[in-house]
Amino acid sequence: MECLVKNTTNKGEGACWDIEGLKNIKKVCTANKLAYHLERARLWNAIVAKNEKPEEYGEIFDTISVCLSKSIGCSVGSVLVG
């Protein structure tokens, strides 16, 4: 079982999760023995918009996937990190 979060979100025309909100969700996942996954094509956009560091996301999530074609204009491809 896992908990899936997307950043940025479609709700609010590309709204970004606050890093503290993501940490609070992590606490719930840990307490319930759930893996915590971040899936998003435009993660770098969210990081820039919120003036955050990529390392902060790596410390929170068990796995992260990003779509390179949507985020940085590559012709095709996605990356899964854990």
Q: Which residues pair with 38 in a beta bridge?
A: 5, 64
| Domains annotated on the chain, with CATH | 2-81 (3.40.640.10)
Q: Give the residue from 42, 45, 44, 50 showing the smallest Cα distance to 21.
A: 50
For residue 33, is pLDDT > 90?
yes
pLDDT in tens, 38-70: 887 777 778 888 888 888 988 999 998 887 776
- Residue 29 exposed, middle or buried by CB count within 10 Å (0-12, 13-18, 19+): buried
The CB-side HSE value for 19 (13 A sphere, CA atoms) comes to 16
Q: What is the pTM of this model?
A: 0.77
My answer on whether omega of the bond before 63 falls inside 30° of 0, hence cis, is no
Which helix H or strand E contains 37, and what residues bound it? strand 35-39
